[in-house]
A and B are shown apart, each in its own frame.
Chain A
Amino acid sequence: MHPAPSVIIFTSLSGIGFGLLFFLGLGLPAPTAWAAFVFFVIAYLLAVGGLLASTFHLGHPERFLKAFSQWRSSWLSREAWLSIAALITMAIYGAGLVFYGVAIAPLGWIGALLSIATIYATSMIYAQLKTVPRWNTPLTSLLFVVVALAGGALLSANINAAMMFLLATGVIQVAYWIGGDQALRKSGTTLGTATGLGKDGEVRAFEPPHTGTNYLLREFVHVVGRKHAAKLRIISLILMIGTPILALSLTFNHVTASIAVITHVAGVFVSRWLFFAQAEHVVGLYYGKR
């Protein structure tokens, strides 16, 4: 799949933003006044900024309100509803903390639940697609949620939770990669089943429909850069998990915390880039590619 920067930025940043909102909703921490204001501004910049970035890849962003209509069948529509519900609930909860110094705990819990549900809905947009075997697994949702929780725990300075979720991210990420590398083969979809000609012998793409490229090849067949996948996986693990854990276990102050957050976000970007760049859409088979 084409790793569009808008979608990589959106899934990474909004995930971390909603992860932070999750911890704020649980009251971990429950700051008041200016401290609360700063926490909520950071969370909203990340979550809303990510959502705005996602509209950059739309053909007609001005029609985005229509995307709220199909929540009964579409995960994209559900994501729109859940994100708005989470943002509104947490805005009321945040206003209580900032202006009145009160934590309306049940509201915070609902907001935390909605934040996690939003991340889950985002992940299901990808995990539901049978056409991309690498994504079509519960591990995709697990990975999205755990990465968001790790980022949220880091930003909300929940050190123990951050350590735990960072380690969990590492385990799930590696499991996702190992499973993903076999996903296309295990899906059973080949050029033989795609053309229905496989029972007569070995099918080979002889001639494409046109000499140039097209939307399908640009969007679904991204093979450039895959050759560095193994190195990028290690870089992503080091940045996303290794450095933050090391920084946090040394000593906790603003400098180490900043290093942990910045390298973590950079690592998440690399991991998300690989998530898209390595994903094989079965339509590539028709073109003799994957």
Chain B
Amino acid sequence: MTELPAQTNRKLGLVIDLDTCVGCHACVVSCKGWNTENYGAPLSDQSAYGANPSGTFLNRVHSYEIAPETGGVAQLIHFPKSCLHCEDAPCVTVCPTGASYKRLEDGIVLVNESDCIGCGLCAWACPYGAREMDTAEGVMKKCTLCVDRIYNENLPEEDRVPACVRTCPAGARHFGDFADPDSNVSQLSAERGGFDLMPEQCTKPVNKYLPPRPKDTMDEVDILAPLLAPVAQEPKGFMSWLDKTLENL
């Protein structure tokens, strides 16, 4: 049934640290790699080497510029975005076939691809653009939180985390259980003020984002400044004549 569970036993999800992310897109590549070879239909590409390449991705990294209102130095923020495994997932309840569901045991939102009719309504209902219809397969694809890694006893223990977390060279991605207040992700989110994306959409995302720390500001301690006052403020000679002539034109 596509009704949401009242509560899930665990709340598995990610903490994404916007202060640490360097925008290398390694998580995008490892996600595409793992999820093309494992759970469900492969993530297809269309015209991958042609003039208009396009393809299915479960994780994409945007970059944003913040211009502080007080003036000051602008900041560039790399912003990875994938499914937030919302507690009130609007994508699940709109599904007419029951293909979309939220797991009772760990809160992961998944698509049963053999039940998906590819109507696309779940992608319409998601404010985050976390779901993408695979053009080749005609079914909806989304982040599985690497459900086929995290419980996979054939993998070494350190690999039993989502591919994006395992690969991140900057340590900007963390995986854990938000239902446990002592877990690494709960602690990290509490310490650093983890926030929700689009809280006004009332989706109650499980994944949290950590804010970038503001850039340092340099105090104006410049003892040489008085000695280095600009010498020539007004142009002189030929430049002055040119300036005036152009002015009068």
Which A residues contact B (CB, under 8 angstroms)?
Answer: 1, 57-61, 63-64, 66-70, 72-77, 80, 125, 128-132, 187-189, 191, 193-197, 200-216, 219-220, 281-283, 286-287
Contacts and interface: CB of A to CB of B under 8 A. Distances in A.
Interface in B173-198: 195-198
Contacts of B90: 129-131
Closest 5 CB pairs of A and B: A59-B118, A59-B138, A209-B60, A283-B129, A66-B97
A209 B79 CA distance: 9
B216 to A, nearest CB: 14
A201 B67 contact: yes
B124 A132 contact: yes
Interface in B57-98: 57, 60-70, 74-77, 79, 81, 90, 92-98
A64, A209, A210 pick with most chain B CB within 10 angstroms: A209
Q: What is the interface residue range for chain B against chain A?
A: 35 or more
B97 A63 contact: yes
B97 A58 contact: no
B121 interface: yes
B144 interface: no
Contacts of A215: 54, 56, 123, 132-133, 135
B42 interface: no
B197 A130 contact: no
Given A130-B127, A197-B66, A204-B64, A189 B201 contact: yes
10 contacts: A60-B139, A64-B117, A74-B2, A76-B94, A195-B79, A201-B67, A203-B64, A210-B57, A282-B198, A286-B129
A213 B52 CA distance: 8
A59 B198 contact: no
Contacts of B135: 215
Interface of B: 1-3, 18, 25, 28, 52-57, 60-70, 74-77, 79, 81, 90, 92-99, 115-121, 123-129, 132-133, 135, 137-140, 195-202, 209, 211-212, 214
Contacts of A209: 25, 28, 57, 60-62
A74 B115 CA distance: 15
Contacts of B133: 59, 215, 219
A206 B62 CA distance: 8
B2, B119, B128 pick with most chain A CB within 10 angstroms: B119
A17 to B, nearest CB: 21
B68, B70, B128 pick with most chain A CB within 10 angstroms: B128
Contacts of A207: 62-63
Contacts of A200: 66, 68, 75, 211-212, 214
A189 B201 CA distance: 8
A57 B120 CA distance: 9
Contacts of B75: 200-201
B131 to A, nearest CB: 9
Contacts of B212: 197, 200
B132 A216 contact: yes
Contacts of B64: 191, 195, 197, 203-206
